[in-house]
Chains A and B, each alone.
Chain A
Amino acid sequence: MADVEPIVGRYLRMTLGGRPHRVYFEEAGQGIPLVCLHTAGADGRQFRHLLNDAEITRHFRVVAFDMPWHGKSLPPVGWQDEEYTLTTRGYVDLILTFCAALGVERPVVLGCSIGGKIVLELARLHARSFRALIGLESADYQAPWYDDTGWLHRPDVHGGEVCGALMSGLIAPQSPSETRWDTLWMYMQGGPGVFKGDLFFYRADGDFRDRVAGIDTTICPLYLLTGEYDFSCTPDDTQRTAAKIKGARVTVMKEIGHFPMSENPAQFRRYILPVLEEIRGRG
């Protein structure tokens, strides 16, 4: 018998910013919808271990989409004359539109890095639309660790190579070689300027220091989990953020960096299963 994984991939058509888009997503499992948001400059393959985890898919319909310009989601028509830039408003619109177009109601959203950051805005503005929100490597602000994102997109430096080489340091040294290099491969495959465009949101537009106090976790629970080896969004950044949000739950994950679900799925599982179990228990 063929060794086929339970993950199914399809394309969803939707309108974003008044323009037609075709968004690729993968899903597995049944039950509570769990929509997963990948990191900047990567794609939904980061969640392949979650999607293949029978313990999770027994109770959750796990859905991971590739943002437009990422993975198998093409940029919109006319992209060739544009510079891709992710904004807070555009990102929120993408998530809400995707969930509505797919017909998932009150999903749990789990996002990492830019995905972890945007759940803070989902929590503030749209808490009633979600069953729970989970931010991995999430903070209202994080100090930059290199000055010029221009290095990510210029003709004399290979974008994929430099993105991969920069990201390699954000993976914990304990993470297995196989999943470390899977993670970096996705960075090496990004389209020109896409990672840089995502970082506009991560580094500039997504400064939520004056906003997160408006989050009400009694409407929608908020879980923040950050890897101890993440020096982009540090555990201190997450804890400082959570200190402003009454009821936010923080976990610092040992032997994990910036890409928990992708760099070390087995270690991440130890932290995420109890969270998912708790969310399920809340009904």
Chain B
Amino acid sequence: MIAAVLDDLADLVNRDASLVRRGRYLSTTFLVETGPTAWLVTVHEGRVTGLERGPFLMRAWSFAIRASEEAWRRFWEPVPAAGWHDLFAMTKGGHATVEGDLRPLMANLRYVKDVLTKPRRSA
């Protein structure tokens, strides 16, 4: 199941000192949806300190990134095909959505994109 890929996200991120350093000004909780499964990812100063798997009834998050299981499967392929290789390629193609408070996302865009790409090697 593709959602299981995210189980290791905290380790993948926190072991990468350079990635943690780049995220040092970000502390927030954001939502990632992989098809029917939702995840709340809590970041504190660049480290992933919480990874909760839904379902959730009424939870706060700053921004949300949602895509189907199939979209994430293709995104996390070692060499993704054109259109599936980047978050914004997927949003333009209608395969993903980004919503909520975009300021923390855009201010830390490289960090967030790198976090989301982290499972790519292990996928």
B86 touches A231 (CB 8 A): yes
B-contacting residues, A144-170, CB 8 Å: 145-146, 151, 156-158, 161-162, 164-166, 168-170
CA A174 to CA B102, docked complex, whole Å = 29
Q: Which residue of A lies closest to B91 (CB)?
A: A145
Q: Tell me whether A173 is interfacial, beta carbon within 8 Å.
A: yes
CA A73 to CA B123, docked complex, whole Å = 45
Kindly count the residue-residue contacts between A and B in the assembled complex, taking CB atoms under 8 Å apart: 54
A162 touches B106 (CB 8 A): yes
A-contacting residues, B64-78, CB 8 Å: none
- Assuming the contacts A157-B103, A231-B92, asked whether A169 and B85 have C-beta atoms less than 8 A apart, the reply is yes
B92 touches A164 (CB 8 A): no
A173 touches B107 (CB 8 A): no
B88 touches A231 (CB 8 A): yes
Q: Which of B79, B88, B106, B113 is close to A145, meaning CB atoms less than 8 Å apart? A: B88
A173 touches B91 (CB 8 A): no
B89 touches A231 (CB 8 A): yes
CA A173 to CA B86, docked complex, whole Å = 9
Interface size class on chain A is 20 to 34
Interchain nearest-CB distance for B48 vs A (Å): 19
A229 touches B82 (CB 8 A): yes
Interchain nearest-CB distance for B28 vs A (Å): 14
B-contacting residues, A118-148, CB 8 Å: 143, 145-146
A169 touches B87 (CB 8 A): yes
B110 touches A156 (CB 8 A): no
Q: Which residue of B lies closest to A235 (CB)?
A: B82
Chain A residues with CB under 8 Å of B106's CB are 151, 157, 162
Q: Tell me whether B50 is interfacial, beta carbon within 8 Å.
A: no
Interface size class on chain B is 10 to 19
Q: Tell me whether A172 is interfacial, beta carbon within 8 Å.
A: yes
Interchain nearest-CB distance for B98 vs A (Å): 9
Chain B residues with CB under 8 Å of A66's CB are none
A162 touches B107 (CB 8 A): yes
B110 touches A157 (CB 8 A): no
Q: Tell me whether A228 is interfacial, beta carbon within 8 Å.
A: yes
Q: Which of B86, B102, B103 is close to A168, meaning CB atoms less than 8 Å apart? A: B86
A-contacting residues, B86-123, CB 8 Å: 86-89, 91-93, 102-103, 106-107, 109-110, 113
Q: 10 closest A-B pairs (Cβ-Cβ)?
A: A169-B86, A165-B109, A165-B110, A145-B92, A231-B89, A229-B82, A157-B107, A228-B82, A151-B106, A157-B106
Residue positions of B touching A, CB distance < 8 A: 79-80, 82-83, 85-89, 91-93, 102-103, 106-107, 109-110, 113
Give 12 CB contacts A-B under 8 Å.
Answer: A145-B89, A146-B88, A157-B106, A161-B107, A162-B107, A162-B109, A164-B110, A166-B88, A169-B113, A173-B79, A228-B82, A231-B93
Residue positions of A touching B, CB distance < 8 A: 143, 145-146, 151, 156-158, 161-162, 164-166, 168-170, 172-174, 228-229, 231
Supplied contacts A168-B86, A169-B88, A229-B85, 15 more A-B pairs, CB within 8 Å: A145-B91, A157-B103, A158-B107, A161-B107, A162-B109, A164-B110, A168-B113, A169-B85, A169-B113, A172-B82, A172-B85, A173-B85, A231-B86, A231-B89, A231-B93
